[in-house]
Amino acid sequence: MSSRETILSRIRDAQTLAPPVAEQVPRDYRTGRTMPDVERIELLVDRLVDYRAHVHRCDPTTLTETITRVLRDVGARRVGVPAGLHESWLTGFAGDVVVDSADVPAPELSTLDAVVTASTVTCAETGTLFLDGSPDQGRRALTLVPDVHVCVVTAESIEVGLPESLARLAPERPTTMISGPSATSDIELERVEGVHGPRNLHVVICG
């Protein structure tokens, strides 16, 4: 018997001994939790700040102005956007706006100073932003290569916890979960930012 056959045989034996699917780990998570809008947003802000993200509050009438100010403050001159981003969001930006597409090689995204996207849903309890590749969010590479990510979160898209957030996602869509700027620790426990994504995350909460 070959090594491959031995391994497959062991897998089949293990599956035979495994309990039926119905008897496996229960998935009875808490769902349907609600919280007043003010408290829900305050909880999200607290988590984002704890993760060292920059938080900006605005309403729909000042969204464009807020995005423009954030881009100006970070010194962005060349900004990438997904093809479906609302055109009015960058009308106040005086620099170059690059519309991303699958034809743009990922290494070329490093020439962008920042990227601006929307988001699908946000979990207040964990401070996690969910991007599912929708037209106003773009492909995964667009939000991982540039050093600055400006993400717009609407108040109505904020859920209390993970079960509520996941329930609003389409399982078949590619989902990127972002909890603060990209960061890790080296062997001496020194925090290193920007290893796997943007070093700077700016979250614009609109509503």
**C-alpha–C-alpha distance, residues 93 and 71, integer Å:** 8
| Residue 54 counted as domain residue | yes
Q: What is the pLDDT along the chain (207 residues), one digit of tens a residue?
A: 799 999 999 999 998 887 776 666 777 888 889 999 999 999 999 999 999 999 999 999 999 999 999 999 999 999 999 999 999 999 999 999 999 999 999 999 999 999 999 999 999 999 999 999 999 999 999 999 999 999 999 999 999 999 999 999 999 999 999 998 877 777 777 777 766 778 999 999 999
pTM of the predicted model as reported, rounded to 2 decimal places? 0.83
> Which residues make beta-bridge pairs with 116?
150
Please indicate, yes or no, if residue 177 is contained in any of the structural domains: yes
Q: What is the CATH number of the domain that holds 60?
A: 3.40.50.10420
The residue type at 134:
S
Q: Tokens for 145, please give them.
A: 């290569």
Q: Is residue 143 part of a domain?
A: yes
145 belongs to a structural domain: yes
- For position 29, what pLDDT does the model report? 81
**Residue-level pLDDT at 16:** 86
Give bridge partners of residue 150 from the DSSP assignment.
116, 202
pLDDT of res. 22:
63
SS3 of residue 137 by DSSP: coil
In a domain, residue 24? The reply is no
Q: Is 11 within the bounds of a domain?
A: no
CA atoms within 13 A on the CB side of 145: 18
- For residue 20, tell me if it sits in a domain: no
The answer to whether residue 67 sits within a structural domain is yes
Beta strand extents in the chain (DSSP E only)? 54-58, 78-81, 96-99, 114-117, 121-123, 128-131, 148-154, 158-159, 176-178, 183-185, 191-193, 200-206
Asked if 85 contacts 50 with a C-beta cutoff of 8 angstroms, the reply is no
Give the total number of structural domains in the chain: 1
Q: Residue 176 class from Cβ within 10 Å (0-12 exposed, 13-18 middle, 19+ buried)?
A: buried
Enclosing domain of residue 113: 36-206
Distance between CA 118 and CA 80 in Å, rounded?
13
User: If you write DSSP's letter for every residue of 80-98 in order, what string do you get?
Assistant: EE-TTS-GGGGTT--SEEE
